[in-house]
Amino acid sequence: MTETLERPPIITLPQSVADRIAAGEVVERPAAVVKELIGNAIDGGADRMTIAIEDAGRTLIKVVDNGFGMTESDLAAAIGRHSTSKLKRFEDLESLSSFGFRGEALPSIAAVSRLNIISRARGQDVGTELSVSGGKIEKAEPVAAPEGTSISVGHLFFNVPARRKFLRTDATEFKWIASVFKHFALAFPSISWELYRNKDLLYQLNPGDERSRLAGLFGDDVAEEMIPINFQRGWLTVHGLISPGSLAQRTTSDQYLYINNRPIVSPRLNRAIYTACEPYYTSGGHPIYVIKLESAPDQFDINVHPAKKEVKFADEKGVFGNLWAAVRRAISDDRAPRELTVEKKSQMETAASAVSERSPVDAPAHLTPFVPLPRRSQTSGAPAMPFSPDRKRGEEAETDSQLQDLAGAESAQRLVGVPESSGDDGPVIWQVFDTYLVSPLKTGIVFIDQHVAHERILYERALRAIEKEPWTSQVLLFPVSFAVSPEDVDIVEECLPLLRSMGFAVDPIGPRDFRIQAVPAGIRITGERDLLLGIIAEFKDTATSNSDPRHRLAAAFACRGAVKAGQPLKTEQMQRLIDELFGCEDPEFCPHGRPIYHVINRREIDKWFRR
């Protein structure tokens, strides 16, 4: 016999049932209760806060503050759903700066616990005690109390056994509570905080600045090493602290991100941070960071989820890019040797006035062009060089081949070059293994890879020539021809306009044949055929990438044209390379992502000798 199904009637749920269902969106676990209560206390003007936890929040969660407090009528309204003092109309959301605004936290907590509130408003003689159990008021009476509010949440989920059943172990639940505590304590270093666990005082944090607050939570060693972030662009300000690669962590637990001091979770913004600091974490691991974004409230929307963890920005790409730039600039500035990054205006003006008539007059300001050597002194295989020739000896200056021959005879007898000083013009510089430049600093020693350093210099100069200031050409005395395979003709034709911007004059003379008529002025280039074919080959190898073809071509030119590892350099050449490197926009990495220099600080050296 077939059972007949009857249509169930539509009814209105009892308020107590609706409250318990709604509470599930706001009160996920004890940590969510702690978050809501602390947020309310901060909105209430507190500058001193005590949090007491028993049995990981199952038995008791108590938050005591010295804020404005509440009157008897305020208390009665506070446990009613959608009761709030934070806004009065929907448009107020556009200028909202408080943590709470939905009016759901206290009624949701009251619906699934035994709630007790004792509060005395400032200027009032007596306070009020309100007791609620499962959403029902049991007591409301005057009581003697200090100014401020004390909220106790007992027996959480006592009337929702299914939710209580799915709570994790005490250790796990308290870990989430401690995380909420740290998020707020780091966001508000001017507030005094105490955290108790089962009567034991775990944290006692006095008011201070961000670094002292970090020291109170993670120790002085961590706080001292953290790198400051201070960045402002347009409508967004970014400030905070991030760890160097030496403090890489095994987990992501110590990462704190805020918008207007509100803790948020954003995988996209987290990716921006990781992308910015990834090159510095060569050994892996995760950074520690406390990063605070500040913006006008109308630029983002926190009203996405009842828990108010998610956030949407009016300009998602802009936030990503600015956050990336803030982190990258902070770490880069912290790593850069101070002695090498200070530029003297008088030196730059002197260098600019020394530009020759045959030098590229529209070259980037941070480069000092030089007079090219006569072609008879250039030999095959010499790289593009940004160094000035030895003007003291003029035509009698050593050629590149003579320098290479001399270095070849000496290289077997030395590993480290004899230290040479350029006097007032710069520090002592060594060349190690004819590959690395080494120079002492006040804070340690810097090692620079000469090839990748020169790559960065040429890359930025070529990119600027393509995008802003076309490179002046220098006509070859004898044009050079080259041929490519049929499948590469389209690649060469794609490169031609960009090559012309860089100062190369390359013209087609046949179906697969091309002729080099001129090269960029102000740099020495020989072996033009091999150089152009190498640039085209590298450009073709990166054709599947999503990068801009201008960047790819500039990177290919820089890689092929840079001074090679194993090539000896004179002191003035090494000094020039260092000066130009630290005049670049990004002296940290070559266009392919390889690190250019490494600083060993005094502390590391002292450890070697157990000082």
Q: In this structure, what CATH number is given to the domain that contains residue 419?
A: 3.30.1540.20
pLDDT average, residue stretch 345-366:
33
Tell me, yes or no, whether 488 lies in a domain. Answer: yes
Can you tell me the distance from the alpha carbon of 435 to that of 450, in angstroms, rounded to the nearest whole number?
A: 6
pLDDT at 420: 45
Tell me, yes or no, whether 2 lies in a domain. Answer: no
| Measured CA angle at 398 (ends 397, 404), to 5 deg | 160
From the centroid of its chain, how far is CA 285? 15
CB 563 within 8 A of CB 454: yes
- Statement to judge: residues 220 and 200 lie in one domain: no
pLDDT greater than 80 at residue 403:
no
Six token digits for residue 409:
């005879």
The last residue of one of the domains, among 190, 205, 220, is 205
Q: Which residues contact 175 (CB under 8 A, 6 or more apart)?
A: none
- For residue range 254-281, list pLDDT tens digits in order: 999 999 999 998 899 999 999 888 878 8
Counted domains in the chain:
3
Six token digits for residue 232:
């402002």
Tell me, yes or no, whether 322 lies in a domain. Answer: yes
Tell me, yes or no, whether 607 lies in a domain. Answer: no
Tell me, yes or no, whether 369 lies in a domain. Answer: yes
Confidence of residue 370 (pLDDT cuts 50, 70, 90): very low
CB 488 within 8 A of CB 477: no
pLDDT at 599: 84
Six token digits for residue 609:
């000798």
- Statement to judge: residues 460 and 580 lie in one domain: yes
pLDDT at 543: 65
DSSP class of residue 366?
A: T
Of 207, 308, 295, the C-alpha closest to 264 is 308
- Statement to judge: residues 241 and 157 lie in one domain: no
pLDDT at 524: 63
- Statement to judge: residues 246 and 123 lie in one domain: no
Handedness of CA 488, 494, 497, 499 (dihedral sign): negative
- Statement to judge: residues 151 and 22 lie in one domain: yes
Can you tell me the distance from the alpha carbon of 446 to that of 340, in angstroms, rounded to the nearest whole number?
A: 10
Q: Which residues contact 524 (CB under 8 A, 6 or more apart)?
A: 372, 373, 378, 382, 383, 384, 385, 400
pLDDT at 348: 34
The last residue of one of the domains, among 335, 369, 384, is 335
- Statement to judge: residues 298 and 359 lie in one domain: no
pLDDT average, residue stretch 560-573:
88
| Measured CA angle at 294 (ends 288, 295), to 5 deg | 145
The last residue of one of the domains, among 170, 205, 240, is 205
pLDDT greater than 70 at residue 371:
no
Q: Which residues contact 366 (CB under 8 A, 6 or more apart)?
A: 348, 580, 583, 584
Domain that holds residue 272: 210-335
Tell me, yes or no, whether 8 lies in a domain. Answer: no
Six token digits for residue 128:
């009020």
CB 293 within 8 A of CB 238: yes
Can you tell me the distance from the alpha carbon of 248 to that of 246, in angstroms, rounded to the nearest whole number?
A: 6
- Statement to judge: residues 201 and 243 lie in one domain: no
Q: Which residues partner with 148 through β-bridges?
A: 120
CATH number of the domain at 273, please.
Answer: 3.30.230.10
pTM above 0.85, yes or no: no
Secondary structure percentages of the chain, helix, strand, coil, to 5: 40, 20, 40
- Identify the helix (H) or strand (E) that includes residue 507: strand 505-508
Tell me, yes or no, whether 609 lies in a domain. Answer: no
Tell me, yes or no, whether 522 lies in a domain. Answer: yes
- Statement to judge: residues 591 and 454 lie in one domain: yes
- Statement to judge: residues 47 and 184 lie in one domain: yes
Q: Which amino acid is at 198?
A: N
- For residue range 277-325, list pLDDT tens digits in order: 887 886 678 899 999 999 988 888 876 555 556 788 888 888 999 999 9
pLDDT greater than 90 at residue 144:
yes
Measured from the Cβ of residue 611, the count of other Cβ atoms closer than 10 Å reads 8
- Statement to judge: residues 351 and 485 lie in one domain: yes
- Statement to judge: residues 379 and 455 lie in one domain: yes
- Statement to judge: residues 577 and 482 lie in one domain: yes
pLDDT at 66: 96
CATH number of the domain at 29, please.
Answer: 3.30.565.10
Six token digits for residue 544:
């599947």
